[in-house]
Amino acid sequence: MSTPPHSDPGLEQAAASDESLLAAHEKLLGKKPDDQANYRLLPLSLLFVFSGLIFFAGTYLNLYSGHFDPHVYNEHALPHKGGVEVVKIDPRELGKKLFNNAACNTCHQVTGLGQPGIYPPLVGSEWVLGTEERVIRIVLYGLQGKVTVKGTDYSAAAMPSFGKVAGSGFNWSDDKIAAVLTYVRSEWGNNAAAITAAQVAAIHAKEGDRKAWTAEELAKLP
């Protein structure tokens, strides 16, 4: 009687099917194949969260970037919505610019000292530091004839009118006249009150369109 041959484990393993091997591997890995293309909710949630953050960032930049204008320095400023924005200028700085760019410094010099015997000085001048009504009239309408400043007579040339009056070659606005007078009355050691555009406008409205003043006429004013 013959003895049955011993079973060979290698042969038994070889006889296993592919399906059984895959099932055994999946069982060992502890997870099933995703045959139905199902996704976990966590990646989808993160996708929506980051999309929302990107949308918020884009909206914020659109509202507060000032259209990336290099002149915008305030990070909280809203974008420009049209219209002309009026930039306020210091009247004294405007007056200094007008004085140095017009005919003022040609006669009275940058120093305000004028030219001896020819053009009167503005430094310490009783006409400059006197009443607002007189000095406004001088710049607005001009001055002709002899004028005495600090005890010295000057009669070489007439001062032209700078306001918007007949015969004026400058046609300055009331704001400009007020600015240049404010500068002259506070420069070179002068210390007189500033002149406002309203004061110039009041004199302009009162006197209307007239010829240049003389020192004698101005001396009669209160």
Contacts of 64 (CB under 8 A, 6+ apart): 75, 76, 77, 78, 79
According to CATH, what is the number of the domain 91-219? 1.10.760.10
Q: How far apart are CA 86 and CA 216, in angstroms?
A: 41
The domain limits of the chain are 39-83, 91-219
The alpha carbon torsion through 189, 219, 194, 192 (nearest 10 deg) reads 30
pLDDT digits (tens, 9 = 90+) for 48-74: 888 889 988 888 877 777 666 666 556
pTM of the predicted structure, to 2 decimals:
0.61
* Residue 103 near residue 169 (C-beta atoms within 8 A): no
Q: Supply the pLDDT for residue 205.
A: 94
pLDDT digits (tens, 9 = 90+) for 177-193: 999 999 999 999 999 99
